[in-house]
Amino acid sequence: MPLSPLSRRRLLATTAAAFAASAGLAPFKALAAEAPTRDAALATMKRATTFMVEKVAYQGGYVWSYLPDFSRRWGEMEAYPTMIWVQPPGTATMGHLFLDAYHATGDEYYYEAAKQVAGALIKIQHPAGGWNYLGDLAGEPSIRKWYDTIGKNGWRLEEFQHYYGNATFDDAGTAESSQFLLRLYVEKKDPAFKPALDKAIQFVLDSQYPVGGWPQRFPLKDEFHHHGRPDYTGYITFNDDVAGENIEFLIMVWQALGDPRVLPAVRKAMDCFVACQQPLPQAGWGLQHKVSDLKPSGARTYEPEAFATHTTAANVTACMGFYELTGDPKYLARLGEALDWLETTRLPVEHQKGRQFPTFVEIGSNKPLFVHRTGSNVVNGRYYVDGNPENTVAHYSSFRGVNIPALRKRLETLKATPPEVASKASPLKGGRQALPKYYTLKDVSVSDLNVGALKGDQAAGAPDKAAGLIAALNEAGWWPTELKATSNPYIGDGSPTPAPGDFSRTHVGDASDTSPYVTDKPKIGISTGSYIENMVTLLKYVGAA
């Protein structure tokens, strides 16, 4: 059974067919007249993995993409050669893939590769126990230089514009790394990984507020102001499933280790969702909430102090999952109010832009808020919100799709389900149990612009797909992939004077902006996300299910 009914952030990578098209390859069915043997698939997996481990990895760690000569490399932003990336599909995702391959094949090479990943993650683990978005194995001066140059000039990536020197729960980096270390430790009970795992568990417990929520970053910092506003990273965070990921990790710890400390923490975390739901008539949630009064707060400058419709829908789904974990009806009690409020935010048809709801809703007035920007770089540019649905920023949608009828249907079903029936299969009940055998065969999500979308239940082990991947692996041992995402090299801080042109809807500003963007002239390169996706396809072909 799944660990929990919570939504997961899992790798949404390119389908094999999309990969073939982007790399200029023939359709897979044309590449092979008959289904490949299992041995051929295993050999391809091993050769591709050997290249990644021996040629691509830096001290066991990975970023997201590389030029073939390794002259440039990227995570969410351009990285130094000594850097490794933690955000999926980065270093921890690779570790999960190696463990999955070990389970599917029994080949110790994959287990040893997973150990190398763990070694890299341990090297960049914060002393408090969590992880930043990235780490630099060259040390503190190097990572500070990166933040003062490349990070500082990523206009739309405000989370990289300041070096906090702490760890983050954003984008599942800390959660995924912690989950990977747990999986690796329980595999063979190797004591080498226990201290880092213990630190990760303690980090999640230490960073939890008494009300049950978690900040975006920890240990807390209070000296920094974000674009002239108080720093938002200490607020209770629902954005990017921060609470859900931590709950899932703690449930995994309970399942695998039976640690009694995690059960009260899980219950507090679930109760925080109830505590933060706002009163009528706006019975929703924001991306983040202030610790002092539990009211919605602002975050980045394009995330105003407002209600968030997509977060509200996600929290409704999470609370329904909590009922299935506990059988406690309090998690369902006010969800109807949230869905009724969401209905009141539906946009007029002429303003919907393909999606029916605004991302942000003003506190009090219930008016939609739309995000815009002006200028050309982080120095002269700014974001602002108003009531105009036209010309909104493209990199952060002002519009959302919410399937309210489906949520209502599930809610009514759960209300009609007795608590003892709803929670019968809950992992919170009973004793210790084995963790799921596979991790990357489920859906994952990332910020990597080079990868698209795949659902874990899609057919990925078909013979034609496997044959195509076997034929497409090049002589060096990697799958050529169009690197649609690129960035401007760092050339210095941006000018106070805006450059000519309209950057209001672009992913990147002028030449000084180091934010990633999709290019119409992609180069062929090495993609960690594509490797993971292709390996998953082959894992399914050789029998992992």
Q: How does pLDDT run across 328-358, given as a tens digit for each residue?
A: 999 999 999 999 999 999 999 999 988 999 9
Give the whole-angstrom CA distance, residue 543 versus residue 519.
Answer: 37
Query: What pLDDT is attached to residue 30?
Result: 41
Give the whole-angstrom CA distance, residue 53 versus residue 55.
Answer: 6
- Classify residue 513 as left (phi > 0), alpha (psi -120 to 50) or beta: beta
Query: What pLDDT is attached to residue 130?
Result: 98
Query: What pLDDT is attached to residue 7?
Result: 36
The verdict on whether omega for the bond into residue 281 sits within 30 degrees of 0, i.e. cis, is yes
Q: Which residues, including other chains, have CB under 8 Å from residue 250's CB and lie 6 or more apart?
A: 204, 262, 265, 266, 269
DSSP letters, 72-90, are: -EESSSB--TTEEE-SSSS
SS3 290: coil
Tell me phi and psi for residue 520, to 5 degrees.
-90, 5
Q: What tokens appear for 442 in the block? A: 């489920």
Residue type, 499: A
Q: Are 358 and 367 in contact (CB under 8 A)?
A: no
DSSP letters, 322-376, are: HHHHH--GGGTTTHHHHHHHHHHTPPPGGG-TTSSEESEE-TTT--EEEEEEESS
Give the whole-angstrom CA distance, residue 184 versus residue 179.
Answer: 9
Segment 116-143, tens digit of pLDDT? 999 999 999 999 999 999 999 999 999 9
Q: What tokens appear for 3 in the block? A: 């660990």
Q: What are the beta bridge partners of residue 307?
A: 361
Give the whole-angstrom CA distance, residue 13 versus residue 34.
Answer: 26
Q: Are 201 and 175 in contact (CB under 8 A)?
A: no
Angle at 411 between CA 410 and CA 415, to 5 degrees: 120
Q: What tokens appear for 218 in the block? A: 């920890």
Query: What pLDDT is attached to residue 459?
Result: 52
Give the whole-angstrom CA distance, residue 49 versus residue 461.
Answer: 18
Give the whole-angstrom CA distance, residue 56 versus residue 53.
Answer: 6
Q: Are 363 and 305 in contact (CB under 8 A)?
A: yes
Calculate Rg over the CA atoms of the chain.
23
Q: What are the beta bridge partners of residue 518?
A: 485
Give the whole-angstrom CA distance, residue 375 versus residue 499.
Answer: 8
Query: What pLDDT is attached to residue 441?
Result: 87
DSSP state of 495: P
Angle at 540 between CA 539 and CA 543, to 5 degrees: 90
Give the whole-angstrom CA distance, residue 20 versus residue 460.
Answer: 14
Separation of first and last alpha carbons in the chain: 13
Which residues of the chain fall below pLDDT 50? 1-32, 453-458
Enter the pTM of the model.
0.92
Q: What are the beta bridge partners of residue 428?
A: none
Q: Are 121 and 196 in contact (CB under 8 A)?
A: yes
Instruction: Indicate the domain borders of the chain.
Output: 16-233+347-401+438-542
Query: What pLDDT is attached to residue 225?
Result: 65
User: Burial of 279 by CB count in 10 Å (0-12 exposed, 13-18 middle, 19+ buried)?
Assistant: exposed
- Specify the residue for token string 């649905």: 389
CA dihedral sign, ordered 485, 490, 493, 499: negative
